[in-house]
Structure 1
Amino acid sequence: MFPTSGSRRLETPEDTQELAAELGAALEAGDVVILDGPVGAGKTTFTQGLARGMGVKGRVTSPTFIIAREHPSLSGGPTLIHVDAYRLLDHDASGGLDSLDLDTELDDAVVVAEWGGGLVGQLVPQYLLVTIDREAAVREDPSSQARYISWRIVETSES
């Protein structure tokens, strides 16, 4: 069971992926994870670990130019849908995720959205917000690869 809230300092990208793999193993169909952090914070690195923990197919790369990538399960679990919601923020939220023309029903998948708080928060009653802060560690030590990662459940007023 993955804790519903917490924070950790992780020293390497591999440590980040290991934490994410723990979370990925606990996720179920219908779960939504929002990744928040500046460019280069490690959102795709985190998603790579999450995908490993979920046991899904395919190489996880940034979905920036295609908006969403689907990664089907290798073992009958939920599909991972990795979304770059930044480009969807200019659209009407009610049509945002539904208009992606995905082969998978969102209720049968785990959705991981980079930059998605403003969009997804209008579509689901709750999501897991994961905040990745690399800047604080770099201020402490400019050669550091560390990240501060915190997570918590956010309740929304579903539309």
Structure 2
Amino acid sequence: YYHLFGVFSSIALSFNLLLLVAILSMLQATLTLPGMAAVALTLGMAIDANVLINERIREELREGMSPQAAIHAGYDRAWATILDSNVTSLIAGLALLAFGSGPVRGFAVVHVIGILTSMFSAVFFSRGIVNLWYGRKKKLKTVSIGTVWKPKAKGELVSDAG
């Protein structure tokens, strides 16, 4: 659906999972069933962040920005939404950690670490991949992010596949 940006998102998601498992391994944490549920929640939050970024880039392209400017503005403008949703989830995780016991605390530990790795991988790692791929080209004509719908003069939609 997002063409090359979907591949970048998948790579960032894989990096997020690898980073989360590495941190849990360094902490010598035992992954229990509640911990696995927290991993699933973490991956969902990371997917959401990548979708927000990709849709924001599409919106910027729809408004007529150049591809480089759309990528830059898309990441910058999606950051506030991603930060807000992740901080809210982080607060809930910290509350579970503080007031929970047993399996709830295990869930909370994995959840808190996962939210932090999710924010890092979605915003910084995926942006790094995009900059590596598109950054060397002096002037981009198009980016591979799927169909961008542009409104016509009388309210009709025109597809600009890219």
Instruction: Please give the TM-score of this superposition, normalised by the length of structure 2.
Output: 0.30
- Structure with the higher fraction of residues in strand conformation: 1
Structure number with greater CO (CA < 8 Å, separation at least 6) is 2
| TM-score, normalisation: structure 1 | 0.31
- Which structure carries more helix by proportion? 2
